[in-house]
Amino acid sequence: MILGTICCRGGSKGVPGKNLKLLNGVPLIGHTILQAQKSSLIDHLIISTDSLEISSIAKSYGADVPFIRPENLATDTASKWPVFIHALEHIEAKWKTKVDFLVDMDVTVPLKTTADIDEAIKLAISRPDVDVVITGYEPERNPYFNMMEITEEGYAQIVKKSVKPIVRRQDAPMVYSLSPAAYVVRREALYKYEHWSKANCLISPMPRERAIDIDSEFDFSLIEYILNYQKNK
């Protein structure tokens, strides 16, 4: 049983009303609902939100909103891990069934495709030794080559030091920047670990151009430009 979740709060500081803001005529949450609904692997899709307005819009797109998220799980500081557990336990109790995988899809990555979601799920299913699969992309910066951190003494130094200095980016170890397009979590991992970073993880690669995460008005404008460019092309 694969449970799909879209978890979004009513509040947003970076982009006010972000989750319902229209992107090419469709509310931001609508893009992810439509992508998830086309997945052949997700058995059931639910929305976890504290907002009645988001709930109403989600339902208009055919999504199931089986509960309104408790206030203590909808604060600025609330981790998504307990939000996942809350959603999973609600569905298990309601349906008298056991969820094997939870697949969370963030609305802030509207350019992801159904294929990006399904590839992450397939990878998780194929690897019983793995607890979490996360979508990610190869970033333009690499901590072994061109990223620096500030020491306690105030000096700047390379983030990941190697025995021999790396002088070409191509020689640096492969790193990935995470994208919240899809998080596939094995049920047991939700109770075994307090955070996904402590679990056995794999990356499901996706193209950089589909992994843009909306954190600001600039990001929103950039995605609007990309969608219009694709439409005109």
pLDDT at position 39 over 90:
yes
Question: Average pLDDT, stretch 221-232?
Answer: 89
Residues 158 and 87 in one domain: no
Question: Percentage helix, strand, coil, to 5, in the chain?
Answer: 35, 20, 40
Residues 6 and 82 in one domain: yes
CATH number of the domain that 96 lies in? 3.90.550.10
Distance linking the first and last C-alpha atoms of the chain: 40
What does the alpha-carbon distance between residue 134 and residue 123 come to, in Å, rounded to a whole number?
10
CA distances from 69 to 27, 40, 164, 195 (A): 20, 27, 51, 20
Residues 43 and 154 in one domain: no
Residues 149 and 51 in one domain: no
**What is the structure's pLDDT at 17?**
86
**What is the structure's pLDDT at 135?**
98
Tell me the three state secondary structure of residue 25: coil
Residue 120's nearest CA partner among 35, 220, 30 is 35
Residues 58 and 154 in one domain: no
When the pLDDT of each residue in the chain is averaged and rounded to a whole number, the result is 94
Segments forming the whole domain that contains residue 146: 140-174
pLDDT at position 190 over 90:
yes
Question: Average pLDDT, stretch 207-232?
Answer: 91
Residue 201's nearest CA partner among 211, 213, 191, 186 is 186
Exposed / middle / buried, residue 123 (Cβ in 10 Å: 0-12, 13-18, 19+): middle
pLDDT at position 35 over 70:
yes
pLDDT at position 43 over 80:
yes
Question: Average pLDDT, stretch 55-74?
Answer: 95
Residues 86 and 26 in one domain: yes
**What is the structure's pLDDT at 63?**
96
Residues 145 and 225 in one domain: no
**What is the structure's pLDDT at 12?**
66
The mean-pLDDT minimum among 74-78, 106-110, 200-204 falls in 74-78
pLDDT band at residue 134, thresholds of 50, 70 and 90?
very high
Split into its structural domains, the chain has a count of: 2
**What is the structure's pLDDT at 170?**
87
Residue with tokens 């993880």, as numbered in its chain: 201
pLDDT band at residue 233, thresholds of 50, 70 and 90?
confident
Residues 167 and 76 in one domain: no
Question: Average pLDDT, stretch 37-46?
Answer: 97
Residues 150 and 228 in one domain: no
Share of the chain above pLDDT 70, in %: 98
What does the alpha-carbon distance between residue 199 and residue 164 come to, in Å, rounded to a whole number?
30
Give CA angle at 32 (56, 4), nearest 5°: 85
CA 120 to centroid of chain Cα atoms? 11
Question: Average pLDDT, stretch 18-26?
Answer: 93
Residues 220 and 209 in one domain: yes
CA distances from 95 to 85, 89, 92, 198 (A): 15, 10, 5, 30
Q: Are the CB atoms for 66 and 90 separated by under 8 Å?
A: yes
Q: Name the pairing type of β-strands 101-104 and 2-7.
A: parallel
What does the alpha-carbon distance between residue 113 and residue 132 come to, in Å, rounded to a whole number?
20
Helices assigned H by DSSP within 44-134: 52-60, 80-95, 114-126
**What is the structure's pLDDT at 13?**
65
Residues 107 and 120 in one domain: yes
What does the alpha-carbon distance between residue 12 and residue 95 come to, in Å, rounded to a whole number?
32
Residues 118 and 153 in one domain: no
**What is the structure's pLDDT at 77?**
81
- Name the domain boundary from 174, 191, 223: 174
